[in-house]
Amino acid sequence: MRQTDTANPIKAVLFDLDGALIDTAPDLANALNAVLKEHKQEPLPYERIRPMVSNGANGLIKLGFGDSLSDAEHEQIKAELIACYQQNIADKSALFNGLEDALLYIENRHIAWGIVTNKPEYLTQQLLKEINFNIKPQTVVCGDQVSSPKPHPESIYLACKQLGVLPENAIYIGDAERDIRAGNLAGLTTIACAYGYVQANDDIKTWQADEIVATSIELVEWIKEAC
């Protein structure tokens, strides 16, 4: 557990979006299975899809259709998947348990918060609008707003700059190795979320995060202790 550092107090908390802040897997899984059904393929169990969500549309297509698609077929199915997802982007997606309380605590402590994601801006903004946060993020940086998305630290540097905080005064919270790598390279305190979309063969302990939390409630407790 991080003890409050009076020399470098926490002034900002940054979240990855899918798998750390919002549980988007149910809607992404439904979109993939709808496209599989359209192409006369068997749907996949949710338990197989969930760990792959952090890999985005390309990862989901590879999971559902394998490696045999031509480039043209891949792009056509990708367009279908995204269109289906957009139509139902927040049917079942929601903040992970307890995180609304964490955001309220952060706001009451006058600590800035934001989102740094590799998700495209148009999907991110639609999702955030439909989720309808009671506490709005003060910055949102998406993968297509920078030249080098995560694991490069550019997007995290940009978020810190927009919030007017130094990296050493910020936390980055993510559920993928690229999140932790980007946060570490940028000089933030990093938290790895084992409750997110972590694949069975991932060893989260090797990611070199400053902290690992098993549940979203544990993350809330960590934030309240550290901020």
Catalytic residues: 16, 18
Radius of gyration of the CA atoms of the chain, in A? 18
Q: How far is CA 29 from CA 35, 51, 88, 102, 151, in A?
A: 10, 10, 11, 27, 24
Q: How far is CA 141 from CA 29, 172, 186, in A?
A: 24, 13, 15
Residue 219, token pair as written in the block: 């993350």
CA gap 191, 185 in Å, rounded: 14
CA gap 1, 95 in Å, rounded: 23
CB 172 within 8 A of CB 226: no
CA gap 78, 125 in Å, rounded: 19
